[in-house]
Structure 1
Amino acid sequence: METATATEASRRVVIERNIPEPAVAGLVEFIDRYYVRSKTRLIQDLSYRKTASSTGFELFWILKALGPEQAAPFAVSLKISQAAIELDFPGLDPSDKSLQYGVERTVDEIKAAVLSYSQNIKTTSLYFVIGASEERSEAPDQRGMMRNVAKRIFTGNTTSLFLSFILLSFALFFIIGVYTVFVLISVQLVALIFSDKIVYRIGSVRPDAERPLVTIVSVRSNAETLKSISQHGKKILSQIREEIARSATAAYSATANEELKSTVIGSLLRHGIIASGKEITVKTRDVYRIVHEVSEKFGRPTPKVTIANSIVSNASATGISSSRSTVMITAGSLEELNDDELEAVIGHELGHVAGHDPVILFAATSFEFLGRFYLWFPLLLYLGFFYFLLAFGGIYLIGKFLETRADTESAVVFGNPEALASALTKIGFRQLYREKYNPGTKLFDWFQFDPHPPIYFRIARLSKYSGKQEPVRHTLLVSIRDIIVGFFSALFQV
């Protein structure tokens, strides 16, 4: 999704480009059902018409006055075609600032609707991640219990991980007593030392210098497809993926995508699933090259790379040093982010490794754990549940410092903070929208058990580095200062 804003010349906004043909009609129906119908009291003169393109549509309506923030109605034109999704405000005087709030909110709401539609399509689509470097074809249900446990530990929700760790520590305390602390810290230390190898094995595709390409095949599913899968079980997906992988690795290049589509159609058909070429999207990314170039800019060795077969847009990095690190990227990120955005996100993750953030967090959690049992145990008995709120709140605060420093490292090294801001907008647009139009949530988001600061804060902060040439010294101290200032700014705005 593009972050282009309305220009003074036309007030036209391009929301997104290159829309798959099957998505056009579905998107029109989705916006009509979940956006237009929810605003029936504010919309008048609604009309639909086909554009010059046989698959294009235009929606036109008048948005009534919203109140003091928007005192007058204005016209809205939404064009949806394979070329692009365009939002225009015909007849609007570019110099009229009285309608700026209404225009910006309409743009944000349409962006949110498009994003919601894309997420719905993702959750009902079949995804196959194929790489020439994989030793064998793998499917999630064939990886074994321990591998799934490792995936939950290293990629899951940190709050649930902390809670599980608390319960485990108390259970062990009743069994082995004072040795509990040393046992659990030793287990954490071993996991940290070998975290790069563990995370590397979690992914289903592992690109390298010799075989750097990764292909993501997505198939828009329908009721018949889902019924067929439910009848045959998930093993059918493993079989289909194996057939696609064998074909893809035989002649692997970005120009072979159309041929791969035919292979996918044939494989699906053999398993009783009917799909047309229009319902299949094939995207090939030179992932290892991107990670290698990012590492060179950081002056660090190239880490191991692994791809997780997940539709969620995310990335992570772990390891005790740059020479013993692994970057994990999800299929959702490879599909959704462009090269600049992906570089910025990987730069953020390598910033964690370069700053030894995994080691810092291990030290912080170990210190709290030791202190809980040996230094301030009476305080734990006195405060009870509130102790854990304070302790984990402090650990998450450290996490916010480190996340902000990683943002700074990426922005400074690449000199392109806009790319990271764009990626954050795509990944967290719902949260960003909520924070923008419900100011009270800004303060609430600071108190969440999440190592990441609020997205609105991260994007606003990145904008300060736009066009900045001089290096930033003491990035951690600068980040700590900015976190404190950002929190109190949100506090005083309530």
Structure 2
Amino acid sequence: MKYTYRHEFKKIRLYVEDWFNYITFMENSIRNIFSEYLLIESKVGIMENNPYLLITLIEENGYTIKCKIIANIFPVLEISCDEYIFSVIERILKKVEEATIYYVKIKGSGTIYFVFTPRQQISLTRRRSFIQKILEKIVWGNMIFFFTFSLIVFYLLSIVVGSLYALILTIPLINLPIMIFSDKILDIIGDWDITKYYRSIYIISLKFPLKDYISILRKIGSQKKNIKKMLYINALSFSDNYLKQKIKNLFKDRIGIEINEENITIRKIDLYSLVDSVFLRFRLPTPRIKILNVKYPNVMISGLMLNKSTLLITTGILVNLEEEELRAVIGHEASHAKNHDQLFFFSISSIEYLVRIYIINVLNILSPISEVIYLLLSLTTLFLIAKIIEIRADIEASILLNKSIELASALKKIGVNHVVKKRKNRVLSWILWKTHPPITFRIENLLSVNSNQYNKNLFLTATYMCIKDIEKNIMSMWKNAFFNTLSVRNI
């Protein structure tokens, strides 16, 4: 019996002018995409103005599988095989989806970025060190990870340590100093300062065909820092058009690489003014601004006092977002600062801890299993509150800055993998120990923002919206389970 499966990637959009490039990219990538299968043949064709790639594979058990990838506004994958092999179909679907996401993200080309700011040390993009990752985790998500992790540690201590007073003191003695100096932690993590006097970021991007990208990276290799120094000197001295010519000549003379001027993009962002205007709109003092030179796209703010907070922006987010998208994302962080979310999480985690210590150690009314269940429910609730606060920050930033579309666009770019892959029910995403709600929910919510529909208490509004989405997805899950059960009985 012949089995046929068809899937349309509804959350991936291709422009008509990209269709042939997409199929060419997929053809060049098939050996990587289907590396675990024996590739028999592949051919490219056109069907009703839609280019397609037809691939014949043999899987490990000897079954022949034919895959057709069709370029369309929403790309299509068709799989036909002699037997229904769910695991193989799932793997092929995932591989094609990932390759398609990658194509959309890079538009079939590879880009090299050079980012610098005047009067700062020239440095290359680097991997985050282990210490930096730990420090980021501490302050990431308004320190909710740190606070919840400390609750687990204190729970284990409560089992070992006998002194109740010693346990009660641990949370302020450990958590409070870290929260007070959280802005200093971001200072340690960051590479460059953005100030009133050195306020701009320069981004030079060079686009190359994907087939040449790896070899060009190898050619640049150890010369990258010297190239960046020369670009830095020229960027401060010449106009954009003349600078493009200088860059073209530099790469041709020093490395032997030809690059067209239309593939050179030069951006200068007055980052200080951008941040200052956003925080002014929130009636907040401008924070200290630090740049972390890593590829990972992220923005975070930390600090107990409004006049002593630090905003950390990675170069990864600067190169990925347009200026108005960046403004919207910074507005989201300003909302966290305005509402003292860090202090709020410290307070509720401390209260939860003290209540639990009282119930377990003083009242002694819970069994060991009940204690564990109580802890798990407490932590799940804390992470759910964190998700609600993220939605509130989205709403507040989109209303105050009138940037709901830009914030949704930024989320799509930053989380393109998550946007496409979140096809299934969102219930699990809501209850997982993650600080951020499902990204698809955030985008849907932002695209339907209407400032007139919200009450003054945005936290209550966000709570209602989150609960409604959880309820809707639970009902959908039960409905699907019910109909699946009926279909099985009918068979």
**Which range, TM-score by smaller chain?**
0.5 to 0.7
Pair 1:260–1:131, CA change in 2 (3 A)? farther
Aligned to 2:472: 489
* Aligned match for 1:222, one of 211, 214, 225: 214
**SS of residue in 2 equivalent to 1:481:** helix
Q: Does 1:31 align with 2:26?
A: yes
Alignment of 1:399-418 (within 5 A): 399-418=386-405
Q: Does 1:338 align with 2:325?
A: no
* Aligned match for 1:190, one of 177, 180, 186: 177
**SS of residue in 1 equivalent to 2:312:** strand
- The CA deviation string for residues 289-335 of structure 1, in whole angstroms up to 9 with x for no partner, is 21111112212221121122222222112222332222222212211
Q: Distance in 2 between matches of 1:157 and 1:16?
A: 42
Alignment of 1:20-419 (within 5 A): 29-32=24-27, 46-47=45-46, 60-61=51-52, 87=73, 115-117=101-103, 128-132=114-118, 134=120, 136-138=121-123, 149-155=134-140, 161=146, 165=150, 169=154, 179=166, 181-217=168-204, 222=214, 225=217, 240=226, 243=229, 247=233, 251=237, 258=244, 261=247, 265=251, 276-277=258-259, 282-377=266-361, 378=364, 379=366, 381-383=368-370, 385-419=372-406
8 Å Cα contact 1:254/1:284 also seen in 2 = no
Pair 1:241–1:195, CA change in 2 (3 A)? farther
Pair 1:368–1:182, CA change in 2 (3 A)? same
Aligned to 2:434: 450
Pair 1:194–1:244, CA change in 2 (3 A)? farther
Give identity over the alignment, percent: 23
Q: 201-210 or 215-224, which moves further after superposition?
A: 215-224
8 Å Cα contact 1:131/1:249 also seen in 2 = no
Aligned to 2:60: none
8 Å Cα contact 2:147/2:345 also seen in 1 = no
Q: Distance in 1 between matches of 2:50 and 2:371?
A: 57
The letter for the 1-side match of 2:472 is S
Pair 1:25–1:267, CA change in 2 (3 A)? farther
Q: 182-191 or 391-400, which moves further after superposition?
A: 182-191
8 Å Cα contact 2:392/2:458 also seen in 1 = yes
Pair 1:455–1:154, CA change in 2 (3 A)? same
Q: Distance in 1 between matches of 2:407 and 2:44?
A: 40
Q: 252-261 or 443-452, which moves further after superposition?
A: 252-261
Q: Distance in 2 between matches of 1:471 and 1:133?
A: 45
Q: 479-488 or 176-185, which moves further after superposition?
A: 176-185
How many pairs are equivalent?
413
Q: Distance in 1 between matches of 2:270 and 2:240?
A: 9
Aligned to 1:473: 456
Pair 1:125–1:415, CA change in 2 (3 A)? closer
CA RMSD after TM alignment? 4.7
How far is 1:396 from its partner? 0.4
How far is 1:414 from its partner? 1.6
* Aligned match for 1:459, one of 418, 443, 462: 443
**SS of residue in 1 equivalent to 2:446:** helix
8 Å Cα contact 1:301/1:323 also seen in 2 = yes
**SS of residue in 1 equivalent to 2:45:** strand
Q: Distance in 2 between matches of 1:29 and 1:263?
A: 30
Aligned to 2:416: 429
How far is 1:380 from its partner? 7.6
Q: Distance in 2 between matches of 1:486 and 1:324?
A: 37
Q: 411-420 or 159-168, which moves further after superposition?
A: 159-168
8 Å Cα contact 1:35/1:113 also seen in 2 = no
The letter for the 2-side match of 1:46 is G
How far is 1:446 from its partner? 1.2
8 Å Cα contact 2:289/2:312 also seen in 1 = yes
**SS of residue in 1 equivalent to 2:192:** coil
- The CA deviation string for residues 417-445 of structure 1, in whole angstroms up to 9 with x for no partner, is 1111111122223222233x33xx32221
Greater RCO, 1 or 2 (C-alpha within 8 Å, sep 6+): 2
How far is 1:262 from its partner? 6.1
Pair 1:296–1:33, CA change in 2 (3 A)? same
Q: Distance in 2 between matches of 1:342 and 1:369?
A: 37
How far is 1:246 from its partner? 6.0
8 Å Cα contact 2:296/2:317 also seen in 1 = yes
Instruction: Give structure 1 stretches of 5+ with no counterpart.
Output: 1-5, 7-12, 49-57, 64-74, 79-86, 90-108
8 Å Cα contact 2:143/2:342 also seen in 1 = no
The structure with the largest alpha-carbon Rg is: 2
How far is 1:286 from its partner? 2.1
The letter for the 1-side match of 2:139 is F
TM-score normalized by structure 2?
0.68
Pair 1:415–1:490, CA change in 2 (3 A)? same
Q: Distance in 2 between matches of 1:253 and 1:175?
A: 67
8 Å Cα contact 1:212/1:289 also seen in 2 = yes
8 Å Cα contact 2:142/2:345 also seen in 1 = no
8 Å Cα contact 1:204/1:306 also seen in 2 = yes
Q: 255-264 or 388-397, which moves further after superposition?
A: 255-264
Pair 1:476–1:286, CA change in 2 (3 A)? same
TM-score normalized by structure 1?
0.67
8 Å Cα contact 1:128/1:241 also seen in 2 = no
8 Å Cα contact 2:154/2:167 also seen in 1 = yes
The letter for the 2-side match of 1:492 is M
Pair 1:334–1:124, CA change in 2 (3 A)? same
